[in-house]
Amino acid sequence: MKIINGLKYWGQLLLLPVYWLSFLMPRDKRLWLFGSTFGRRFADNPKYFYLYVSQHKKKLGVRPVWISHNRKIVRMLNGKGYEAYYYHSIKGIWFALRGKVYLFDNYVKDINFWQSGGALKVNMWHGVGNKKINYDNRFDAVRHPKNLWERFRYFPRRLSDEKPGHYILATSPMMCRIFARAFQVPESHVIEAGYPRNDYILGGNIKNIYSPEEKKVLSAISRWKGQDGIIDLYMPTFRDSETDFFEVMDLEVFNLFLKENHILFLTKLHPKSKLAEMFSEITYSNILNIAPESDPYVFLGQADILTTDYSSVYSDFMLLDRPVVAFWYDYGKYSEYTRDGYFDFQEYMPEIQAITMEELMDGTKKALMEDKAKRKRAVSRKKMFSDTNADGCEKIAGKLQEILGMSGQKVLHRNAGEIGNGTYL
């Protein structure tokens, strides 16, 4: 398998002539292409912006097309009346060569890098958090190779990763400054607007579509809320020390606590989590596991309280101004062995903190009785988001049309100057 993967990795360089030739293709500025998570998922900011544009395409004068590496996603979208194509199909290749705008949340390869020459590339990214990313992450071997071997080894990766010509979406003046440096883009290429996924949880003008798995979970949530139950959503990030979870938790005792307090504990792991199989086997009455591949923003607005750790989902949940418990059972290991942060976690996340299961249970009860973090949370929220209205999609569409010369609306760009390490501006 390693040999096959190695051949695929280096063999992609044979497609370089295709990439160069793709610059010669005339591109239609009204054809906007969308993709997410290396083409594997229908999720995150591209999903919600795609839904918004699709549902307002006549008004916008734009043709939105989802390009996926997953045929099931294509069939699902087509079945619901949306336009989507498999990336290696004839139409998928044709649209990749003709689309003027590429919108993605990781890299251009979320759609198709090798046919993207001459397209306007917009990285909508997938988190407003504390962890240092990309060029700001000194442990990133792709962007900061330590020797000639690493420089050579990651050369194919660097070809298709972020470029100075890309645009990047950021949610506040502070995040604009951070992202400009982290993605190595000029200040004029940082677009400030709310995240499309947050438009949805704030009740914006987006009609969502759900997978069968998501419908089942929503039905369970509805039944629980109908009995005046409490929804506690647990969304941790992935890291090596996440496996300590089962050393800290006694799920039988924890489930009794949940039953006594009429709480349904929804668990939604990161798609890269090493604990997915173990969580899928949990069968307690008040613990419901959501598939890691599911869209968390389908459920985020349903939560009465959030339990999380270092995940950027905390930033988005701040917009709802509901109680949070920071479950930092591995804080020592995480702080020592994981990437640096932009600012102090205690200041960024002024919530009730728990290290042990007993502290988690006690903190949950306290947070539900009285949310004492509201004032400090509002200060943190204001720094992360300059706009808490559900109008991010509308602003992004207008700004892209201005960049493309399709409208008279003015594009707002923020000064993307330097920001000092550890300063929560």
Which residue, of 160, 175, 201, is where some domain finishes?
201
- Would you say residue 401 lies in a domain? no
The 3-state secondary structure of the chain reads CHHHHHHHHHHHHHHHHHHHHHCCCCCEEEEEEECCHHHCCCCHHHHHHHHHHHHCHHHHCCEEEEEECCHHHHHHHHHCCCCEEECCCHHHHHHHHHEEEEEECCCHHHCCHHHCCCCEEEECCCCCCCECCHHHCCCCCCCCCCCHHHHHHCHHHHHHCCCCCCEEEECCHHHHHHHHHHCCCCHHHEEECCCHHHHHHCCCCCCCCCCHHHHHHHHHHHHHHHCCCEEEEEECCCCHHHHHHHHHCCHHHHHHHHHHCCEEEEEECCCCCCCHHHHHCCCCCCEEEECCCCCHHHCHHHCCEEEECCCCHHHHHHCCCCCEEEECCCHHHHHHHCCCECCCHHHHCCCEEECCHHHHHHHHHHHHHCCCCHHHHHHHHHHHCCCCCCCHHHHHHHHHHHHCCCCCCCCCECCCCCCCCCCCC
- Would you say residue 417 lies in a domain? no
What pLDDT does residue 356 have?
95
- Does residue 172 share a domain with residue 25? yes
CATH number of the CATH domain containing 254: 3.40.50.12580
- Does residue 273 share a domain with residue 197? no
CATH number of the CATH domain containing 62: 3.40.50.11820
- Does residue 191 share a domain with residue 253? no
- Would you say residue 208 lies in a domain? no
- Does residue 85 share a domain with residue 224? no
- Does residue 164 share a domain with residue 16? yes
- Does residue 106 share a domain with residue 58? yes
- Does residue 218 share a domain with residue 192? no
Q: List the chain pLDDT tens, one digit each, 425 residues.
A: 778 888 788 888 888 999 999 999 999 999 999 999 999 999 999 999 999 999 999 999 999 999 999 999 999 999 999 999 999 999 999 999 999 999 999 999 999 999 999 999 999 999 898 888 898 888 888 899 999 999 989 988 888 887 878 999 999 999 999 999 999 999 899 999 999 999 999 999 999 999 999 999 999 999 999 999 999 999 998 776 677 888 889 999 999 999 999 999 999 988 878 787 888 888 999 999 999 889 999 999 999 999 998 889 999 999 999 999 999 988 777 777 666 788 888 889 999 999 999 999 999 999 999 999 999 999 999 999 998 999 999 999 999 999 999 864 443 443 433 333 333 33
- Would you say residue 223 lies in a domain? yes
Quote the number of domains for the chain.
2
- Would you say residue 193 lies in a domain? yes
- Does residue 162 share a domain with residue 238? no
- Does residue 111 share a domain with residue 38? yes
Q: Which residue range(s) make up the domain with 269?
A: 213-384
- Does residue 347 share a domain with residue 257? yes
- Would you say residue 50 lies in a domain? yes
- Would you say residue 413 lies in a domain? no
- Does residue 273 share a domain with residue 185? no
What pLDDT does residue 334 have?
75
Which residue, of 144, 174, 201, is where some domain finishes?
201
- Would you say residue 287 lies in a domain? yes
What pLDDT does residue 422 have?
39
Entry pTM: 0.91
- Does residue 282 share a domain with residue 159? no
Which residue, of 162, 178, 201, is where some domain finishes?
201
